[in-house]
Amino acid sequence: MLGNAAGKAYMVEPKNIRLPLSKRDIAGLSAGDMVLISGQLVTGRDRVHKYLVEQRPAIDALPVDLTGSVLYHCGPVMKKKDEGYEVIAAGPTTSIRVEMYEAEVIKNYGLAGVMGKGGMGEKTLAALRESGAVYFHTIGGAAAYLADRIVRTVDVWKLEDFGPTEAMWIFEVEDFPAIVTMDSRGNSLHKEIEEISFRKFRTLIGR
């Protein structure tokens, strides 16, 4: 999928997608698809989610229009330069922590998707179906690699209040690798894998 850095050739071709995504683009994505994302996305983790749900800022109060964009669960390492910031490391954080907020955020701000690691629960899965959105799973811990796919830091929001880890960064990405693991038709790879592993677990403990 992503070259042959470790000496293995790949048969699976990823889909190239460009943000913002249309409803049609989203409908064309299925759980299991590997994608390379290009375009503008924003970061947001625990504090951004809490703020968006509790304070409900208007769509035009945010620095960019999130319609058709992707909210990336990420708290990057940023280095302050004379002018602006440099992205040092920017892998995903665990998405399930924002499960209680995500459904509302997706609906209120017209997101095409959220991206993180570890997958999300039933409430988000239902919201993805209702709103027509997907969950992208990228690679946890691959922070140097993923930082190199961020070609530009466009802007930042709530830097003073939340600090660089929790602020909303607006990034321009190019060929950012991810796998669709929850789609807009209610399919979730996480649910499938959890069921398989739970059955195996019951067998291993004889129950």
Partner 1 sequence: MLKLRDGIIELYRKVASSLPPDVETAIRSAYDNEPATSASASALMVILENIKRARETARPICQDTGLPVFYVKVPFGLSQNELKKTIHEATREATRLVPLRANAVDIITEKNSGDNTGEGFPLIYFEEVESGALVIDLMLKGGGCENAGQTYKLPLEEIGAQRDLEGVRRCVLDAVQKAQGRGCPPYIIGVGAGAAKDQVARLAKEQLMRKLTDSSKIPELAALEQRLLSEINELGIGPMGLGGKSTALGVKIGVNHRHPASYFVDVSFGCWAMRRGRLIW
Site residues for partner 1, window 54-83 (CB under 8 A)? 74-77, 79
Give the nearest distance from C-beta 144 to partner 1 in angstroms. 4
Tell me the β-bridge partners of 137: 116, 179
Residue selected from 39, 57, 63, 118 as contacting partner 1 according to rule CB under 8 A: 118
- The one catalytic residue in 49, 73, 137, 190 is 49
**Shortest distance, position 27 Cβ to partner 1, whole Å:** 21
> First and final CA of the chain: distance in angstroms?
39
**Quick one: how far is CA 177 from the chain centroid?**
11
Which one, 83 or 203, has the nearer CB to partner 1?
Answer: 203
Q: Which of 38, 145, 159, 172 binds partner 1 (CB under 8 A)?
A: 145
User: Which of 30, 59, 84, 88 touches partner 1 (CB under 8 A)?
Assistant: 88
| Spacing of C-alpha 108 from chain mean position | 17
Nearest in space to 118 (alpha carbons), one of 171, 43, 193, 49: 193
Are β-strands 134-137 and 77-80 bridged in parallel, bridged antiparallel, or unpaired?
unpaired
Pairing of strands 70-72, 34-43: parallel
89 binds partner 1 (CB under 8 A): yes
- Cα–Cα dist 17/35, whole Å: 7
Known catalytic residue: 49? yes
Measured from the CB atom, the residue of 130 and 198 that comes closer to partner 1 is 198
| Three-class secondary structure of residue 135 per DSSP | strand
Q: Which residues bind partner 1 (CB under 8 A)?
A: 1-3, 5-6, 8-12, 32, 34, 74-77, 79, 88-91, 93-94, 96-97, 117-119, 137, 139-148, 163-166, 177, 179, 181, 189-190, 193-194, 196-198, 200-201, 204-207
